[in-house]
Structure 1
Amino acid sequence: MTYCVGMMLDRGLVLMSDTRTNSGVDNISTFRKMYHWQVPGERVIAVMTAGNLATTQAVVSQLEERNKAPAERHNSLLEAPTMFQVATIVGNLLQDVIEERAADNGQTAAAGTFSATMIVAGQIKGMEPRLFLIYPEGNFIEASFDTPFFQIGETKYGRPILIRGYERDMSFEAAVKLMCVSFDSTLKANLSVGMPLDLLVLETDGFTPLHERRIEASDPYFQSISTSWGEALRQALEGLPDYTLDAAAGGRLKGTA
């Protein structure tokens, strides 16, 4: 399992992913799930992956080969005229890889054994930053004002945090803090998501990462976020109205009629 988040802001895009891959509790490894390519001053494109590791690595490897020699290979992300075309290229490639792996193993793609999903984000000069969620079937949807962020992998534990805390006009720093809380909640609830985390910040019209780093388990800031968030939750719980077990009160709040 994994957890990745891509978020749209007025200022640009913020992406974060974990790096844990496991096949059972005794076989845990670390693999990068975030990749990006850039042409300084012209475009920057990022991809995050979740699902079958062999599938996602095959897709990323083919994208890498195409991008290293775009003039000699078709469907390079570095030559696509729009981010919509970038998403189309990634979607078609993902679908092809899943179908090929399934066929090689005597299965249908619908069996889901080799399934994967991806988040594609980036900007091409003269256009707005865009964010897409790519499904295993190769189709995709785009982020909007109504759906300003996408999650893939183990999404349920961190989603409530994002829904309650997200504001489109928030700063990059505030967005990173919100994502750290979302990831901390997921890490606490599911052992299949693990450190380190990869972070990428893409500012509108920057065409190169504004900020990029790997957050290790020993990172002082992340540890502070985790500790402070846990304490804040305990204090918030204590500040809520008390419940009484008095049968005569019928479970009403203390001090109410």
Structure 2
Amino acid sequence: MTYCVGMMLDCGMVFMSDTRTNAGLDNISTFRKMQIWEKPGDRVITMMTAGNLATTQAVVSLLDERSKAPEDREPSILAVPSMFQAARLVADTLREVIANHAQSGQRADSAFNATIILGGQIAGSEPRMFLIYPEGNFIETGSDTPFFQIGEMKYGRPILVRAYDSAMSFEEAMKLLLVSFDSTLKANLTVGAPFDYHLYERDTLTTGHTGRIELDNPYFEIVSKGWGEALKTALDSLPAFRL
């Protein structure tokens, strides 16, 4: 399984993804689920994937290969004029990969599905973020939906809904996301560290701060322990139910 979050902020965008994939409790592997394409001064585009690993890796590989091909031969994520067109290109590529499974005799049902978060900025336009579905359709963030989650989202969603603020700093957003990821991995063994992240600052048009947080990261340990203790303290402070 997977857990990925893309969040829009006034100062830019924050992306975080786990790295665990599994085909049963005794077959667990680590794969990077975040991909960044950059043309400094022109665009930065980040993609995170959830779903069938073969499908998502094929989508990434096709987009990457076509970004290096002559522009008059293949549509390229590094050449499309807008983030909307980038979302259409990714959606079409996802549909193409799933259709190829069907043509090769495999069933293109939920077993080969994938969901994608795509966000970035292209020179001359605002940062934009999209959620792309296996069918190839997609939606965009807005004031009512300022962040997207894919994968195992239910355990980490409550804290995002309660604490998200578009005016928060990157540091505050990272703390919020780590609480969300900690809640998820404690409730579901199919989500696990390390966590990859990308902090993109609005209008810089260059890759922002990126990194990977391991389970033994000192700050993550503080957040995990502190959040658990804070929840217990909050629960104890509430009035007791009276029979």
Please indicate the TM-score interval, normalised by the length of the shorter structure: over 0.9
- 1:216 to 2:227 alignment: no
| Distance in structure 1 (CA, Å) of the matches to 2:133 and 2:20 | 21
Q: CA deviation at 1:68?
A: 2.2
Normalised to the residue count of structure 2, the TM-score between the two structures is: 0.98
The more displaced of 207-216 and 88-97 is: 207-216
Following superposition, which runs of at least 4 residues in structure 1 exceed 2 angstroms of deviation? Answer: 68-73
- Following superposition, the deviation at residue 218 of structure 1 comes to 1.1
| Partner Cα distance (2:201, 2:106) in 1 | 45
- Is 1:175 the counterpart of 2:134? The answer is no
**Following TM superposition, by how much is the alpha carbon of 1:87 offset from its aligned partner in structure 2, in angstroms?**
0.2
Query: Is 1:24–2:27 an aligned residue pair?
Result: no
- Where does structure 1 lack aligned partners over 5 or more consecutive residues? 245-250, 252-257
Instruction: Tell me the secondary structure at the aligned position of residue 112 of structure 2.
Output: coil
Q: Structure 1 pair 70/171, CA: closer, same or farther in 2 (3 Å)?
A: farther
1:247 corresponds to? none
Once the two structures are superposed, residues 143-163 of structure 1 have per-residue CA deviations (whole angstroms, 9 ceiling, x without a partner) of 001100000000000011100
Percent identity, please: 62
Cα-to-partner distance string for 1:69-107 (whole Å, 9 max, x where unaligned) = 343641100000000000000000001101111332342
- Normalised by the size of structure 1, how large is the TM-score? 0.92
Give yes or no for contact 1:12–1:203 (8 Å, CA) kept in 2.
yes
2:4 corresponds to which residue? Answer: 4
Match of 1:195 among 193, 196, 203: 193
* Worse-matched range after superposition: 215-224 or 21-30: 215-224
**Which residue number corresponds to residue 152 of structure 2?**
154
What residue number does 2:203 align with? Answer: 205
TM-superposed CA distance for 1:208, in Å, is: 1.5
Asked which structure has the greater CA Rg, the reply is 1
Equivalents in 2 of 1:215, 1:87: separation in Å?
A: 28
Q: What is the CA RMSD across the aligned residues, in angstroms?
A: 1.0
In structure 2, the partner of 1:128 is: 126
66-75 or 173-182, which deviates more: 66-75
- Residue 5 of structure 1 aligns with an amino acid whose one-letter code is V
**Aligned 8 A contact 1:20 1:29 in 2:** yes
* Alignment-mate amino acid for residue 43 of structure 1: R
3-state SS in 2 of match to 1:81: coil
- Alignment correspondent of 2:138: 140
Q: 1:100 to 1:169 in 2, by over 3 A?
A: same
* 8 Å Cα contact 1:102-1:113 kept in structure 2: no
Match of 1:254 in 2: none
Give structure 2 stretches of 5+ with no counterpart: none
Q: Deviations over 1:83-141 (max 9, x none)?
A: 0000000000001101111332342x3x2110000000000011000000000001100
Aligned residues: 243
- CA displacement 1:146-199 (0-9 Å, x = unmatched): 100000000000011100010111111111110000000001000000100001
1:7/1:15 contact within 8 Å kept? yes
Match of 2:113 in 1: 115
Q: Could you say which residue in structure 2 is the equivalent of 1:15?
A: 15
